[in-house]
Amino acid sequence: MRLLNPIDQIFLRLERRNQPMHVGGLQLFERPADAGPHYVRDRVAAMRAHCDVQPPFDRRLKYRFGQPFWVDDEAFDLEYHVRHLALPAPGEIRELLALVSMLHGALLDRSRPMWEVYVIEGISGNRFAIYSKFHHALMDGVSAMRVMRRSLTDRPDPDALRVPWQLPRPASATGRTPLADTWKTLRATTRQTLALPGAAREVVRAWHDARDDPAFTRINQAPATILNRRVSGSRRFAAQSYDLARIKRLARHHRATVNDIVMAMCASALRRYLQDNDALPAAPLVAMVPVALHDGADEAGNHVAMIFASLATDVADPVARLAAIRASVDHWKRRYRGMSPEQIMAFVAALSAPAGLNLLTGIAPRRQSFNVVISNVPGPHETLYCGDAEMTGMYPVSIVLDGQALNITITSYREALEFGLIACRRSLPSMQHLLSHLAAALDELEPDDAGHRAASGREGVAADGG
Amino acid sequence: MRLLNPIDQIFLRLERRNQPMHVGGLQLFERPADAGPHYVRDRVAAMRAHCDVQPPFDRRLKYRFGQPFWVDDEAFDLEYHVRHLALPAPGEIRELLALVSMLHGALLDRSRPMWEVYVIEGISGNRFAIYSKFHHALMDGVSAMRVMRRSLTDRPDPDALRVPWQLPRPASATGRTPLADTWKTLRATTRQTLALPGAAREVVRAWHDARDDPAFTRINQAPATILNRRVSGSRRFAAQSYDLARIKRLARHHRATVNDIVMAMCASALRRYLQDNDALPAAPLVAMVPVALHDGADEAGNHVAMIFASLATDVADPVARLAAIRASVDHWKRRYRGMSPEQIMAFVAALSAPAGLNLLTGIAPRRQSFNVVISNVPGPHETLYCGDAEMTGMYPVSIVLDGQALNITITSYREALEFGLIACRRSLPSMQHLLSHLAAALDELEPDDAGHRAASGREGVAADGG
């Protein structure tokens, strides 16, 4: 019996029926060529046979004196947590995304360990999928992605089945997880660093700069948009893979980073979507983006900060828009360069305090720090397997909040950037149109003579229909 | 914009994440012999083409000044409400029930009209299913069953597809719905009749009788059991059909009613289940049962009352147990016979007030009026069709509450009694064992020379596994 730490308590307190606080991931797999009709069923049975459940997967909440504690679940029921579903024939990806939209909208049972794993069969192209769902109080999105990553192997092996709840090695050993480290730092330092003079000085300087420098995104200046209303309890999930080699080529061409291109894609897609809905504000949208700040030699010294970057959605020309976004991002990076991780965390906490306060109190924000979260978390380059089934795609499924009706989380896998968009289905009708707008944004950035415009999207993913 | 009536407001206020307040129904259909692979898909498309949505299916909640109102949903999204799912192969009924358990545990989105219909394909035996889910504030369980009934036709006709949200005739015209009438009466009369002298006299008399008559179930005397704890948010649904002709024959043999046999089945099954879990209380369980009271000639004058009948689970002999149950039921019927419908409603309201108060306040009951709700609602005798697909079974899916971890609702269809059991999966582990215990209960009541013991269950339904 252990009291939840204050940050994890916040994720419980933030949760409402229209605002579930779990993160998820969707993984697509190809059945081996020789797989029989019971392949997925046998796989589910094998997963359920892994019943030596490890922390935190065996933990459930228990309230004592009004405080939430973690206790072991004495009536653990693996069949409840691991579920077997199927798509109706022909099992197109739009049906898979519709199913994930539905599953992601449902609250987890608080009287059990707050995670669920769905194995979904009957997907066209001889595929199956795994959708996993973890409460943010149990683990954050990056940890969830790490756990899902660690459930896979780097060689096909029918006998080497791993499951998130019973992994061979301790969680700390694998992978770079800058955002997870950020949370750790935040958890460790929030209280102490809020009063740091360095951070306070930076907040003042940020306000100052905003008056003088048009490229700098002033705090709390994000415009009111349809992205920033109260959300309903229904979700729409959309996902697509985009060719990373092409994005890298465009980045080189425009002397930008991959992340700059990703942000330009999002900016262009949002601009077009809001235009289609007659809802584009005059002022540019602001994205909150976690970015890794490299110190140079010391890789362990990497840290992450949140930047509040302009998406320059007031700029019509795609190349000029990319330049404006890059200038905004670079400004923030320069600002952070001289600061320690603790100072940055304190700075971010101060900047996003109105948003956090709004979340906790449920008051719709009058002053909006940002319009949308765009999070790009690096993923594995090598091909991964679930037993002997090759993973062909993996897409993050994040959280939608009151005032933040859209979240765009991106990861990479092999030669693709994998976009996962989750939205309030009611606030953002036909949100899946953003996927084709993202592809069109790449076309816009091609040099005029490139002739790549036809090949923007990749096979294998598409929008949840309707 | 119309304020919700007070009774419907109660169903909203009662709702919590571990206690969703929607009712449902599961219908099983046989695909026609000549149906192609797209049969169910085409059916879903045809259902979604019925977009002239009628009240109350087009209504959503809107809060004003802290009060809930019904308003038209100006962003109605039929694709959201009508969903297409499939079972993994081989699509056994236990998988269907596991899926319904999962779907029934999820809260409805309050920012939309609070109903969902799931069309589920891939069920063994060339079958498909429809699971429907309606919030109790929108309609009560009997109205929901009536609406589902009215969506079916009495002849197979591929062109005659009906949907609950767009029905040809007004709702009042079809079917006997005593429980719906009861709610109507309750809604109309609760306030006025609570002070009726007749009812007050009956309450006093009931307490009096309890001291003198051992067959009479005293108010608030239900024992504490595992059925009467706080519930989790996870559900288990179990359903099975039992041969009505056999039950009728047993009723004749024991000079009892069909309803008496149904209650004896539940009593025997609960006794055995609680024994298996080492949790059978010494005192007999009490069931709250809505019963129709016939006035004789005037069929429109039928009314329903709640009785709090002893299940005589302290009696080991099945035949003696049936006799004790029958005596308790008859006692209540006699008591009600001299009362007007308004008096009965007031009487019931007074008797169940502690339960209602417990529900509203969320305080676990110290005094328990009853242990389990057993509700038997007559259904159609004739074969019904969804378009050209024959319905082979229909099972009610009711509500589980804090303190009421099990609900048994029964209806009839053709020559079968259709049991739908819904329970908190955590409070009642392996609840589906009740199904075989229900079958065994029929065997117990057979005359020694009958030799029917082998044929207790019917094909077509089984427990959700695990």
All residues of chain A having their beta carbon less than 8 Å from the beta carbon of residue B425 are 77, 80
Give the chain B residue nearest A99 (alpha carbons): B85
Smallest CA-to-CA distance from B387 within B50, B26, B23 is with B50
The predicted-structure confidence for A54-107, as pLDDT tens digits, reads as follows 999 999 999 998 899 999 999 999 999 999 999 998 999 999 999 999 999 999
Q: Give the Cα-Cα-Cα angle A341, A343, A348 (nearest 5 degrees).
A: 95
To the nearest whole Å, the CA of B349 is away from the closest chain A CA by: 31
A135 as an active site residue: the answer is: no
pLDDT of residue A366: 53
Is the separation of the CB atoms in B33 and B99 below 8 Å? no
Greatest CA separation for chain B:
68
Chain B: residues touching A (Cβ < 8 Å): 17-18, 37-38, 40-41, 75, 77, 79-80, 83-89, 95, 98-99, 102, 105-107, 109-112, 121-122, 232-234, 425-426, 429, 465-466
To the nearest whole Å, the CA of A174 is away from the closest chain B CA by: 34
Q: Are B14 and B85 part of one and the same domain?
A: yes
Domain-located, residue B466:
no
**Cα torsion angle, A376, A378, A383, A386, sign:** negative
Q: Is the pLDDT of residue A193 over 80?
A: no
All residues of chain A having their beta carbon less than 8 Å from the beta carbon of residue B18 are 109-111
pLDDT of residue A359: 54
* Chosen from B39, B95, B102 to mutate, greatest number of chain A CBs within 10 A: B102
Give the chain A residue nearest B39 (alpha carbons): A89
The predicted-structure confidence for A218-262, as pLDDT tens digits, reads as follows 555 789 999 998 899 999 999 999 999 999 999 999 999 999 999
Q: Are B111 and B28 part of one and the same domain?
A: yes
- Distance (Å, rounded) from C-alpha B284 to C-alpha A87? 46
pLDDT of residue B203: 55
Higher pLDDT, residue A203 or A323: A323
Q: Is the pLDDT of residue A381 over 90?
A: yes
Extract the tokens encoding A266: 């999002």
Smallest CA-to-CA distance from A236 within A91, A408, A11 is with A408
Domain-located, residue A9:
yes
Q: Are A229 and A145 part of one and the same domain?
A: no
Mean pLDDT over A10-24 rounds to: 89
Distances (CA, A) of A242 to A263, A278, A418, B198: 14, 27, 6, 75
Instruction: Share the mean pLDDT of chain B.
Output: 83
Chain A: residues touching B (Cβ < 8 Å): 17-18, 37-38, 40-41, 75, 77, 79-80, 83-89, 95, 98-99, 102, 105-107, 109-112, 121-122, 232-234, 425-426, 429, 465-466
- Distance (Å, rounded) from C-alpha B11 to C-alpha B27? 25
Q: Are B122 and B257 part of one and the same domain?
A: no
Q: Is the pLDDT of residue A336 over 90?
A: no
Strand order in the sheet with A67-72: A2-3, A67-72, A59-64
Cβ of B234 and A106 within 8 Å? Answer: no
Phi, psi (5° rounding) for residue B197? -60, -40
- Distance (Å, rounded) from C-alpha B303 to C-alpha B288? 16
All residues of chain A having their beta carbon less than 8 Å from the beta carbon of residue B84 are 88, 95
- Distance (Å, rounded) from C-alpha B106 to C-alpha A261? 39
Q: Which of A130-139, B347-356, B378-387 has the lowest mean pLDDT?
A: B347-356
Going by their DSSP bridges, the two strands B127-135 and A127-135 should be labelled as: unpaired
- Distance (Å, rounded) from C-alpha B128 to C-alpha B124? 8
Smallest CA-to-CA distance from A219 within A145, A328, A141, A316 is with A328
Extract the tokens encoding B449: 């020379």
What are B308's strand-pairing partners?
B288
**Cα torsion angle, A164, A168, A171, A176, sign:** negative
Give the chain A residue nearest B79 (alpha carbons): A466
pLDDT band at B327 (very low <50, low <70, confident <90, very high): very high
- Distance (Å, rounded) from C-alpha B63 to C-alpha A429? 22
CB atoms within 10 A of CB A257: 16
Amino acid at A242: Y
* Chosen from A48, A76, A78, A102 to mutate, greatest number of chain B CBs within 10 A: A102
Q: Is the pLDDT of residue B402 over 90?
A: no
At residue B63, the 3 state secondary structure works out as strand
Burial class (CB in 10 A: 0-12, 13-18, 19+), A199: buried
The predicted-structure confidence for A390-422, as pLDDT tens digits, reads as follows 999 999 999 998 888 999 999 999 999 999 999
- Distance (Å, rounded) from C-alpha A306 to C-alpha A335? 12
DSSP label at residue A182: H
Catalytic, out of A136, A254, A303, A331? A136
Is the separation of the CB atoms in A216 and A210 below 8 Å? yes
What DSSP assignment string belongs to B389-450? EEEEEEEEE---BTTB-EEEEEEEETTEEEEEEEEETTTSTTTTHHHHHHHHHHHHHS-TT-
pLDDT of residue A453: 47
pLDDT of residue B56: 92
Cβ of A465 and B79 within 8 Å? Answer: yes
CATH number of the domain where residue A217 is located: 3.30.559.30
Domain-located, residue A211:
yes
All residues of chain A having their beta carbon less than 8 Å from the beta carbon of residue B106 are 105-107
To the nearest whole Å, the CA of B427 is away from the closest chain A CA by: 10
Mean pLDDT over A314-340 rounds to: 90
To the nearest whole Å, the CA of B407 is away from the closest chain A CA by: 20
Q: Which residues contact B257 (CB under 8 A, 6 or more apart)?
A: B251, B326
DSSP label at residue A222: B
Distances (CA, A) of A71 to A52, A56, A292, B78, B169: 16, 10, 35, 42, 55
Residue in B17, B106, B122 nearest the CB of A86: B122
Q: What percent of chain B has pLDDT over 70?
A: 77
pLDDT band at A178 (very low <50, low <70, confident <90, very high): very low
Q: Are A33 and A161 part of one and the same domain?
A: yes
Phi, psi (5° rounding) for residue B253? -60, -40
Is the separation of the CB atoms in A273 and A463 below 8 Å? no
Q: Are A425 and A369 part of one and the same domain?
A: yes
Higher pLDDT, residue B466 or B375: B375
Q: Is the pLDDT of residue B217 over 80?
A: no
All residues of chain B having their beta carbon less than 8 Å from the beta carbon of residue A89 are 37-38, 41, 86, 121-122
- Distance (Å, rounded) from C-alpha B431 to C-alpha B234? 13
Q: Compute and round to an integer the Cα radius of gyration of chain A.
A: 22
Residue in B75, B79, B110 nearest the CB of A466: B79
CB atoms within 10 A of CB B209: 15
Mean pLDDT over B347-367 rounds to: 55
Q: Which of B230-244, B283-297, B405-419 has the lowest mean pLDDT?
A: B283-297
Q: Is the pLDDT of residue B310 over 70?
A: yes
pLDDT of residue B445: 97
**B175: region left, alpha or beta (phi > 0 left; psi from -120 to 50 alpha):** left
Q: Are B105 and B221 part of one and the same domain?
A: no
Domain-located, residue A181:
no
Residue whose pair of structure tokens reads 């024939």 in the numeric block: A89
Q: Is the pLDDT of residue A296 over 90?
A: no
All residues of chain B having their beta carbon less than 8 Å from the beta carbon of residue A99 are 85
The predicted-structure confidence for B93-134, as pLDDT tens digits, reads as follows 999 999 999 999 999 999 999 999 999 999 999 999 999 999
Q: Is the pLDDT of residue B323 over 50?
A: yes
Residue in A17, A37, A86 nearest the CB of B107: A17
Buried b / exposed e along B395-410 (16+ C-beta atoms within 10 A): bbbbbbbbbbbbbbbb
The predicted-structure confidence for B127-157, as pLDDT tens digits, reads as follows 999 999 999 999 888 888 889 988 999 999 9
What DSSP assignment string belongs to A89-153? TT--HHHHHHHHHHHHTSPPPTTS-SEEEEEEEEETTTEEEEEEEEETTT--HHHHHHHHHHTSB
Give the chain B residue nearest A16 (alpha carbons): B17
Q: For chain B, how many structural domains are there in total? A: 2
Q: What percent of chain B has pLDDT over 90?
A: 59
Q: Is the pLDDT of residue B6 over 70?
A: yes
pLDDT of residue B139: 86
Please give the positions of B annotated as active site.
136
Q: Are B290 and B346 part of one and the same domain?
A: yes
Q: Which of A4-18, B210-224, B267-281 has the lowest mean pLDDT?
A: B210-224
Smallest CA-to-CA distance from B90 within A215, A121, A191 is with A121
pLDDT band at A38 (very low <50, low <70, confident <90, very high): very high
Q: Are B75 and B146 part of one and the same domain?
A: yes
pLDDT band at A456 (very low <50, low <70, confident <90, very high): very low
Cβ of B86 and A83 within 8 Å? Answer: no
Q: Are B152 and B217 part of one and the same domain?
A: no
Mean pLDDT over A107-134 rounds to: 96
Domain-located, residue B462:
no
Phi, psi (5° rounding) for residue B259? -65, -35
To the nearest whole Å, the CA of B420 is away from the closest chain A CA by: 20
Distances (CA, A) of B212 to B91, B159, B288, B311, B465: 55, 62, 21, 19, 46
Q: Give the Cα-Cα-Cα angle B123, B125, B128 (nearest 5 degrees).
A: 40
Among residues A124, A143, A173, the one where a domain terminates is: A173
- Distance (Å, rounded) from C-alpha A46 to C-alpha A35? 15
Smallest CA-to-CA distance from A148 within A374, A327, A359, A411 is with A411
All residues of chain B having their beta carbon less than 8 Å from the beta carbon of residue A105 are 106, 109
Smallest CA-to-CA distance from B424 within B242, B189, B234, B154 is with B234
Which contacts qualify for B187-196: CB closer than 8 Å, 24 or more apart? B187/B5, B187/B6, B187/B7, B189/B342, B189/B345, B189/B346, B190/B6, B190/B7, B190/B345, B190/B346, B190/B349, B192/B342, B193/B342, B193/B343, B193/B345, B193/B346, B193/B349, B194/B346, B194/B349, B194/B350, B195/B346, B196/B342, B196/B343, B196/B346
What are A53's strand-pairing partners?
none
Range of the domain at A49: 2-173
Q: What percent of chain A has pLDDT over 90?
A: 59
Q: Is the pLDDT of residue B297 over 50?
A: no
Mean pLDDT over B199-204 rounds to: 56
Give the chain A residue nearest B465 (alpha carbons): A79
All residues of chain B having their beta carbon less than 8 Å from the beta carbon of residue A31 are none
**A146: region left, alpha or beta (phi > 0 left; psi from -120 to 50 alpha):** alpha
Extract the tokens encoding B194: 């609570």
Q: Are B257 and B343 part of one and the same domain?
A: yes
Q: Which residues contact A310 (CB under 8 A, 6 or more apart)?
A: A215, A217, A284, A285, A286, A324, A325, A328
Distances (CA, A) of B165 to A49, A104, A387, B24: 44, 26, 46, 15
To the nearest whole Å, the CA of A216 is away from the closest chain B CA by: 38
pLDDT of residue B296: 45
Mean pLDDT over B345-366 rounds to: 56
pLDDT of residue A101: 97
Q: Are A408 and A269 part of one and the same domain?
A: yes
DSSP label at residue A223: P
To the nearest whole Å, the CA of A355 is away from the closest chain B CA by: 23
Domain-located, residue B186:
no
Q: Which of A13-27, A139-153, B126-140, B359-373 has the lowest mean pLDDT?
A: B359-373
- Distance (Å, rounded) from C-alpha B87 to C-alpha B125? 13
CB atoms within 10 A of CB B434: 25
pLDDT of residue A52: 93
- Distance (Å, rounded) from C-alpha A105 to C-alpha A22? 9
The predicted-structure confidence for B12-45, as pLDDT tens digits, reads as follows 888 989 999 999 999 999 999 999 999 999 999 9
Is the separation of the CB atoms in B442 and B246 below 8 Å? yes
DSSP label at residue B45: H
**A451: region left, alpha or beta (phi > 0 left; psi from -120 to 50 alpha):** left
* Chosen from B40, B426, B427, B430 to mutate, greatest number of chain A CBs within 10 A: B426
pLDDT band at B205 (very low <50, low <70, confident <90, very high): low
Smallest CA-to-CA distance from A146 within A134, A157, A161, A129 is with A134
Q: Which of A123-137, A141-155, A158-172 has the lowest mean pLDDT?
A: A158-172
Q: Compute and round to an integer the Cα radius of gyration of chain B.
A: 22
pLDDT of residue A14: 83
pLDDT band at A160 (very low <50, low <70, confident <90, very high): confident
Domain-located, residue A391:
no
Chain-centroid distance of CA A119 in Å reads 21
The predicted-structure confidence for A337-379, as pLDDT tens digits, reads as follows 777 766 676 666 666 655 555 555 444 445 677 899 999 988 9
Domain-located, residue A179:
no
Mean pLDDT over B181-202 rounds to: 49
CATH number of the domain where residue B90 is located: 3.30.559.10
